[in-house]
A and B are shown apart, each in its own frame.
Chain A
């Protein structure tokens, strides 16, 4: 079946530091890949996505590249801000074993940015 593995948190950084959150996946087909973000007290929001190999998703200074050869979709940002503090979820969408397309999520990585 499909699965997503992402690095455990919390990740604690100082403002303007470089961020990497690792994500690898296992899928039976050709999934689309996503990063969702959950700010305190809010629902999950799509941060960025990539639908095929070598695609780069980007939004709000965050980037992730779909690497089929390493089955990875690592999230990066060059300079984090306090407002980036949130929980980040890597996810894939594929038809899987049931023929139904749905998102499979990783366990989430909490990012804490200190001023």
Chain B
């Protein structure tokens, strides 16, 4: 597609439920990032894929968070046993190049807003 697409745009979950958030990056983009943005804050890095390889998951806040990109295109961020502190906007971003040779510019989706009750 023309841009990064995320779904659902809004998700309300009861505490303890599992959720799955989908990201469809710009076609052909090698790199894919997930960020978490709490209300009134800047985005915080969660995890990074280069094609299907998850090269960095150092930002995932707990083992309840899991991300995958099995075919190197669409990615899913899964949160198990959601807690209230997981409420945030989850942003997906992609870029056309790998680590070497790019300026670091990322193209962002509109985000998935998760509210945990």
Contacts and interface: CB of A to CB of B under 8 A. Distances in A.
A34 B105 CA distance: 8
Given A32-B103, A93-B103, A108-B41, A102 B48 contact: yes
B102 A101 contact: yes
Interface of B: 4, 33, 40-45, 48, 55-56, 58, 91, 93, 99, 102-111
A93 B42 contact: no
Interface size class of A (residues with CB under 8 A): 20 to 34
3 smallest CB-CB distances across A and B, nearest first, come from: A93-B104, A105-B42, A43-B110
A95 B103 CA distance: 11
A89 B105 CA distance: 13
Given A44-B91, A102-B33, A32 B104 contact: yes
Nearest to B102: A101
Interface in A60-115: 89, 91-95, 98, 100-108
Nearest to B110: A43
